[in-house]
Amino acid sequence: MGSPRFARDDRFSFSFQISLPLVKQLAFVPMLNYKQCMFQRFLICALVLILLNCSAGPPIRKGSQPTAQTSYEEGVYYKNQKNWELAIEKLDTVRHRFPLSPYAKKAELEIADIHFIRKNYIDARLTYELYKQFHPTDPHLDFVQYRIGLAYFYEIPSAIDRDTTPLYDTIDAFNVLKTHFPKSKHITDAHNKIQVCRGKLAQRSLYVASYYYRTKAYKSALGRGLEVLKVYRDTGHNEEAYFYIISSYDKLNQKENARKYFEKLKKEFPNSTYISKINL
């Protein structure tokens, strides 16, 4: 037996049969002037493009029922065409009708990717997490874990006074990637995004420190400033942290501690604008 034959959908060949004679007729209509000639060429090109689009479609196995492979290929085709609903429908067919096929696993990953591309990050994370559970030895798990981290990362609010849970979730997800897949090509980007999250957490601590200082809750302001120095020292926010530490120690009448941190501020940031704001 020869290889299976594929045919285009009947509606596409019908469109081609109807439209091709029209193109031929337009090509031989006599034109009276230059403008009409240009319009004729434009119309022919438009019809040709329509024909090409209509005739393109996923391969359909002629004379047989859909298989795991053909359903998967159709799903990928519709995904590439950004016909998301139909793509998921075809890929779900693979998962449910052919659960033991190698294409079922591939379909799961394609569905997760569709959710991610559409910015449905909750659905994407859930689908990727299920993929990890059902395929713990899959060679693409580093990519799956990377996408889980990205799905958290893209939900981080821009304002620093919002919920910080996505920041911690992002850090945790990317740390899993670094721990379990240290040779992954996504490690560098994961590390950079962890640093972005840590920087935002440092900003959040300083935002809260500012609030506490304004409301004269100096112990709480001091705690936030010290947190930045101890936990987020490498995020570039130490200068402001020093200000709240020194000022809070001063308000708490702990002059020796205030002077100690003031000396550190001057040594590390000799051109800091905060130096002139501190009077000890």
State whether 93 and 109 are in the same domain: yes
Query: Residues 45, 87: one domain?
Result: no
Among 32, 57, 82, identify where a domain stops: 57
In a domain, residue 195? The reply is no
Q: How far is CA 64 from the centre of its chain?
A: 39
Q: Are residues 254 and 229 in the same domain?
A: yes
Residue 90 CA to residue 132 CA, distance in Å, equals 22
Which pLDDT does position 225 carry in this prediction? 98
- Is residue 259 in some structural domain? yes
In a domain, 36, yes or no: yes
For residue 156, being part of any structural domain is answered with no
Residue 74 lies in a domain: yes
Listed in sequence order, the residues at least 6 apart from 67 whose beta carbon sits closer than 8 Å to its beta carbon are 61, 98
45, 69: one domain = no
pLDDT at 224: 98
Integer Cα distance of 228 and 203 in angstroms: 9
Position 90 scores a pLDDT of 96
What pLDDT is attached to residue 15?
41
Residues 221 and 236 in one domain: yes
Do residue 224 and residue 271 come from a single domain? yes
pLDDT truncated to tens, each residue of the chain (280 aa)?
443 333 334 434 434 444 444 444 444 444 445 445 444 554 444 444 444 444 445 555 555 688 999 999 999 999 999 999 999 999 999 999 999 999 999 999 999 999 999 999 999 999 999 999 999 999 999 999 999 999 999 999 999 999 999 999 999 999 999 999 999 999 999 999 999 999 999 999 999 999 999 999 999 999 999 999 999 999 999 999 999 999 999 999 999 999 999 999 999 999 999 999 999 8
Q: How far apart are CA 176 and CA 236, in angstroms?
A: 25
Q: Is residue 76 part of a domain?
A: yes
Domain containing residue 42: 1-57
Structure confidence at residue 40 (pLDDT): 52
What's the confidence (pLDDT) of residue 280?
A: 86
264 assigned to some structural domain: yes
In this predicted structure, what is the pLDDT of residue 49?
Answer: 44
User: In one letter, which amino acid is 58?
Assistant: P
Residue 190 counted as domain residue: no
What total of structural domains would you count in the chain? 3
